[in-house]
């Protein structure tokens, strides 16, 4: 494709063509994307029949008083009002219907990292700026003119950063303290059925070390590494770090209701050989502060399924649940990362673990020495997320299609990192190779979870060179799928001045930018068919 036609397509957001594909998949799946080959290139790739639009980029305005973006001379004050350098979609929260009939929602995006080599001219770290780039953004979305857009300076739009005041609640607050300023390394999160937003902090140690010279509070790492809860529709809500959900490096969180109305929160331990945890509240989820008291348990393989083993209810366990989990024989997964849940199922993305030996494989981690990863499906007994037992099986293995799907396409998920379920029960899988450039780009796949096409993943989108997929979320009306293209051009050896691509603008004076995009079907209709 020549430069003129490529730029014309980028300007209009029109679909870029995939490689030739066969329509045989239509016989086994409800998805309307064809199996295809995804090329590695500076541009992105959109499935035929779909349009990609840009909604927000690193440096774009979030708060009403945002300062202009100047990547050559960033300041903490400006970064605290702008969309962050990195990004991962945590949740989409629909707003109550308004009298004007306009569809509205709040989208929560985590900003986990800031790489000095890619974010700052010359690669010299600027910790005070980085502290404001990381954290989270809450964006107001509206449906206008038949499309979903970001409402510029919307009422609930806000940034959460290293300066955000947080409460600390629950059993470990006596040991940790009752308040702290700052959210650090937010890696994932979710909307809850009881109307709140959970933001999960990852391992805070790298950020604590990086920011310690700025302020003594960052030296107290125990005040970071928790799950924060807040009301996403209240722009003045103070996040509450819930210590009952324990402190460990998290990949993601997913929330559900038990059959008896109690709150259930699943948490992935983002390490090679990491665990899968579950918290069940003592009281009903509808009660204020339901996440302040409850039982933390860990998944252990048992027969053809798993069993949730309760951990001791003491402050020491909450500060180091990994040690307690190992003592109970908890199953060690292959870098557990993204989570997605509905009324009767939980899905877990395992990104892969080349360190697993042949003598360490099991039913839910079946391969040794592989970074290709897989997706696990867990079905609680009786459809009750509060049950202590569940069946568990593999939905798909990464790297290459299973024999039953052979010949239906050459693009296939590898290193699955993020998951999202849509209203039809289909799973959207985002991959992340940490910037490594291989034979195919990171991509976003749709996957049926039942029927003849169960476990068949088809590509909707291929990211530009060096970029990863930072999650997805479906609009309330099903007409748009939002996705986060994170850290384009950030391949090994790249820098601010010499990135792997300058997507999305291809402006030689600008660095590449993490970008929130939306996908819609040309001619209308629900995404995915």
pLDDT of 123 over the 70 cut: yes
**Could you tell me which of 379, 246, 236 has the C-alpha nearest to residue 306?**
379
Judged by DSSP in three states, 383 sits in helix
What is the structure's pLDDT at 409?
A: 60
**Which of 14-18, 121-125, 148-152, 321-325 is the least confident region?**
14-18
pLDDT tens string 414-442 = 999 999 999 999 999 999 999 999 999 99
Token pair 């209240």 is at which residue? 234
Q: Which of 29-38, 53-62, 148-157 is most confident? A: 53-62
pLDDT tens string 462-478 = 999 999 999 999 999 99
Eight-state DSSP code of residue 205: H
Angle, vertex CA 83, rays to CA 101 and CA 204, nearest 5: 120
Confidence category of residue 406, pLDDT binned at 50, 70, 90: low
Whether residue 53 contacts residue 520, with contact meaning beta carbons closer than 8 Å, is answered with: yes
Mean pLDDT value across residues 365-384: 97
Distances (CA, A) of 477 to 103, 104, 189, 191, 520: 8, 10, 22, 17, 12
Distances (CA, A) of 368 to 310, 423, 433: 29, 35, 18
Question: Which is more confident, 27 or 15?
Answer: 27
Token reading at 73? 């001379």
Angle, vertex CA 90, rays to CA 321 and CA 248, nearest 5: 15
Confidence category of residue 410, pLDDT binned at 50, 70, 90: low
Distances (CA, A) of 6 to 11, 38, 425, 433, 519: 9, 16, 35, 26, 18
Q: Which region holds residue 28: left if phi is over 0, alpha if psi is between -120 and 50, else beta?
A: alpha
Question: Which is more confident, 210 or 22?
Answer: 210
Strand order in the sheet with 240-242: 179-181, 165-169, 240-242, 227-230, 197-201, 186-191
Confidence category of residue 16, pLDDT binned at 50, 70, 90: very low
Q: What's the predicted TM-score (pTM) here?
A: 0.94
Q: What is the mean pLDDT of the chain?
A: 93
CA distance 217 to 239: 17
């Amino acid at each position: 494709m020549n430069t003129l036609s490529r730029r014309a397509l980028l300007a209009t957001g029109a679909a870029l063509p995939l490689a030739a594909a066969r329509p045989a998949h239509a016989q086994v799946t409800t998805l309307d994307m064809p199996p295809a080959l995804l090329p590695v290139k500076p541009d992105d790739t959109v499935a035929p029949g779909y349009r990609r639009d840009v909604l927000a980029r690193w440096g774009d305005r979030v708060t009403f008083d945002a300062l202009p973006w100047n990547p050559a001379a960033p300041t903490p004050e400006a970064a605290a009002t702008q969309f962050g350098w990195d990004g991962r979609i945590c949740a989409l929260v629909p707003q109550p219907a308004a009298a004007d009939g306009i569809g509205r929602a709040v989208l929560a995006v985590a900003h986990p990292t800031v790489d000095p080599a890619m974010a700052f001219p010359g690669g010299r770290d600027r910790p005070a700026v980085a502290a404001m780039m990381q954290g989270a953004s809450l964006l107001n979305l509206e449906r206008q003119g038949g499309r979903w857009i970001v409402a510029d300076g919307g009422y609930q739009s806000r940034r959460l950063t290293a300066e955000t005041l947080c409460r600390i609640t629950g059993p470990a607050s006596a040991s940790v303290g009752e308040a702290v300023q700052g959210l650090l390394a937010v890696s994932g999160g979710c909307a809850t059925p009881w109307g709140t937003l959970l933001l999960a902090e990852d391992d805070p140690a790298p950020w604590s070390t990086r920011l310690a010279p700025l302020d003594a509070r960052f030296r107290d790492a125990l005040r970071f590494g928790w799950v924060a809860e807040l009301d996403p529709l209240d722009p003045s809500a103070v996040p509450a770090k819930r210590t009952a959900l324990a402190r460990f490096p998290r990949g993601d969180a997913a929330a559900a209701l038990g059959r008896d109305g109690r709150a259930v929160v699943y948490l992935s331990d983002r390490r090679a050989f990491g665990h899968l945890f579950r918290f069940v509240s003592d009281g009903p989820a509808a009660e204020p502060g339901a996440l302040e008291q409850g039982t933390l348990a860990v998944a252990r393989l048992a027969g053809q399924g798993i069993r949730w083993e309760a951990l001791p209810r003491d402050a020491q366990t909450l500060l180091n649940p990994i040690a307690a989990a190992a003592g109970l024989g908890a199953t060690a997964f292959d870098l557990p990362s993204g989570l997605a849940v509905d009324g009767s199922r939980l899905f877990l993305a395992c990104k892969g673990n080349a360190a697993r030996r042949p003598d360490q494989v099991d039913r839910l981690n079946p391969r040794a020495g592989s970074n290709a990863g897989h997706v696990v499906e867990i079905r609680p007994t009786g459809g009750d997320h509060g049950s202590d037992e569940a069946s568990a099986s593999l939905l798909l293995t990464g790297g290459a299609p299973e024999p039953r799907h052979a010949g239906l396409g050459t693009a296939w998920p590898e290193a699955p990192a993020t998951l999202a379920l849509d209203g039809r029960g289909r799973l959207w899988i985002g991959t992340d190779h940490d910037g490594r450039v291989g034979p195919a780009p990171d991509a976003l796949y749709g996957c049926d979870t039942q029927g003849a096409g169960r476990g068949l993943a088809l590509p909707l989108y291929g990211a530009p060179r060096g970029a990863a997929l930072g999650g997805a979320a479906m609009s309330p009306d099903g007409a748009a799928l939002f996705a986060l293209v994170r850290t384009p051009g950030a391949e090994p050896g790249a820098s601010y001045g010499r990135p792997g691509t300058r997507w999305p603008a291809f402006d030689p004076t600008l660095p590449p930018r993490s970008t929130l995009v939306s996908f819609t079907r040309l001619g209308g209709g629900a995404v995915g068919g």
